[in-house]
């Protein structure tokens, strides 16, 4: 029997990303309102800025205490299946039940997500979100886990017909929508710079360039990385 065993630490609840995004948007909005409508009140600005960056400072602690879980993964090449073991409970998944899979990495490179979409008669999606940095000495690297899954799926696809192959789904950044978002973000950043200059708010230019430019460059970097991964997988 040909098998491969691996272990990793996963982030078990994706809601934390939604919570952090909402937190950042809320306090970024308060910063904007304070600057333009409260006469640049420094006390409020510093308070909101501290609240804005607090989740980022304590991010590791939040994840480790409430949202982390160790699991084991076993790939079985003979039966074209894989097993996920959590808290001693083993679940088996057949490759023949999978329609597509996707690999995404967080913008800051902190984690990677491996997602499997099951076939139409089962709309369930299997998600494995792993830390990119090893959390213990006996942990398999995330890159090795991703490569092992991709290699197994590629080998499986060679044994079946074209219509039954497991497809590597495009990420948002890699898709047409991602390309459109790059153009939209570029346009919005250009407009923001023009408005700051036109209304003599030159002092706010570094802030606009920092946030707007940072988001834009992040999307471009992720798109290039995902395209490179697809080419590597196809090869």
Average of pLDDT values for 85-94?
90
CB 157 within 8 A of CB 166: yes
- pLDDT of res. 56: 66
How far apart, in whole angstroms, are the C-alpha atoms of residue 11 and residue 132? 11
pLDDT band at 234, cuts 50/70/90? low
The predicted-structure confidence for 158-210, as pLDDT tens digits, reads as follows 999 888 899 888 777 777 777 787 788 888 778 777 777 776 666 555 666 66
CA 197 to chain centre: 35
DSSP helix, strand, coil percent of the chain (3-state; round to 5): 55, 25, 25
Of the candidates 225, 63, 78, 224, the one whose C-alpha atom is nearest the C-alpha of residue 159 is 78
Average of pLDDT values for 89-102?
91
- pLDDT of res. 6: 94
Has residue 230 got a pLDDT over 90?
no
pLDDT band at 104, cuts 50/70/90? confident
The predicted-structure confidence for 143-171, as pLDDT tens digits, reads as follows 899 989 989 999 999 999 888 899 888 77
CB 44 within 8 A of CB 38: yes
**β-pair partners for 4:** 75
Two tokens, residue 123: 């709309």
- pLDDT of res. 126: 87
DSSP string of 75-119, one letter each residue: EETTTTEEEEEETTEEEEEEGGGEEEEEEEE-TTSSEEEEEEEEP
Between 42-57 and 59-66, two packed helices, what is the crossing angle to 10 degrees? 40
Of the candidates 168, 170, 171, 153, the one whose C-alpha atom is nearest the C-alpha of residue 101 is 168
pLDDT band at 65, cuts 50/70/90? low
- The pLDDT mean for the chain works out to 79
Cα Dmax for the chain: 71
Two tokens, residue 207: 């802030």
Q: What percent of the chain has pLDDT over 70?
A: 74
Two tokens, residue 87: 């808290």
């Amino acid at each position: 029997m040909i098998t491969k065993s691996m272990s990793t630490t996963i982030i078990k609840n994706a809601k934390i990303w939604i919570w952090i995004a909402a937190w950042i948007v809320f306090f970024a909005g308060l910063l904007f309102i304070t600057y333009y409508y409260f006469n640049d009140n420094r006390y409020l600005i510093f308070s909101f800025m501290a609240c804005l960056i607090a989740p980022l400072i304590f991010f590791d602690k939040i994840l480790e205490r409430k949202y982390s879980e160790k699991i084991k993964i076993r790939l079985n090449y003979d039966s074209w299946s894989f097993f996920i073991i959590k808290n001693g409970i083993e679940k088996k998944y057949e490759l023949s039940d999978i329609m597509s899979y996707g690999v995404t990495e967080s913008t800051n490179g902190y984690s990677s997500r491996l997602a499997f979409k099951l076939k139409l008669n089962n709309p369930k999606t299997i998600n494995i979100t792993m830390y990119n940095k090893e959390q213990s000495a006996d942990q398999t690297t995330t890159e090795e886990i991703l490569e092992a899954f991709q290699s197994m799926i590629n080998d499986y696809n060679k044994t079946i017909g074209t219509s039954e192959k497991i497809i590597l789904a495009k990420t948002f950044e890699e898709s047409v929508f991602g390309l459109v978002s790059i153009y939209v973000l570029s346009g919005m950043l250009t407009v923001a710079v023009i408005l700051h200059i036109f209304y003599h708010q030159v002092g706010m230019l570094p802030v606009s360039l920092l946030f707007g430019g940072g988001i834009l460059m992040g999307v471009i970097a992720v798109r290039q990385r995902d395209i490179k991964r697809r080419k590597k997988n196809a090869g």
